[in-house]
């Protein structure tokens, strides 16, 4: 274990969203205890929101096929990284940082709009 990770508490080294996953599980158990008839409704809504997020992602890919956020990275992220300790995992190509940020924001806005649209329709 490196010097940096040895000082990080275990709860901060858990996989991302572990805390939120535990909170969701506790709330689902509470819902099952308090109003078990609402479990299918909650699962239905969660399914629709998840489907909306996937559809929003694919809408963004269809609208801007040549402006994917990962296309502005210095090298393909799928091949892994060998950055030095404390270095940037996946650097953006010089001169394209604002375009990269714009592509990320565009994707987030499109996905959020689709999810919000579906959620308001529930």
Residue 8, domain member (yes or no) = no
Residue 17 pLDDT more than 90? no
Residue 84, domain member (yes or no) = yes
Average pLDDT, the chain: 86
pLDDT band for position 103 (50/70/90)?
A: very high
Q: In whole angstroms, how far apart are CA 51 and each of 18, 38, 60, 69, 75?
A: 21, 20, 14, 21, 30
Mean pLDDT of 31-57: 94
Residue 24, domain member (yes or no) = no
The model's pTM is: 0.72
| Cβ atoms of residues 56 and 112 within 8 Å | yes
Q: Which two tokens mark 14?
A: 């858990």
Task: Give the whole-angstrom CA distance, residue 118 versus residue 46.
Answer: 11
Domain that holds residue 77: 37-121
Residue 4 pLDDT more than 60? no
Residue 26, domain member (yes or no) = no
Query: How many structural domains comprise the chain?
Result: 1
- Residue 3 pLDDT: 56
Residue 7 pLDDT more than 80? no
């Amino acid at each position: 274990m490196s010097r940096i990770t040895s000082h990080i508490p275990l709860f901060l080294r858990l996989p991302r969203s572990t805390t939120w996953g535990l909170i969701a599980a506790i709330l689902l158990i509470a819902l099952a205890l308090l109003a078990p008839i609402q479990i299918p409704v909650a699962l239905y809504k969660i399914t629709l929101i998840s489907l909306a997020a996937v559809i929003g992602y694919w809408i963004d890919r269809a609208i801007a096929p040549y402006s994917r956020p990962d296309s502005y990275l210095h090298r393909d992220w799928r091949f892994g990284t060998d950055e030095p300790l404390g270095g940037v995992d996946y650097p953006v190509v010089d001169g394209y940082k604002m375009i990269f940020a714009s592509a990320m924001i565009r994707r987030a806005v499109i996905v959020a709009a689709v999810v919000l649209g579906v959620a308001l329709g529930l």
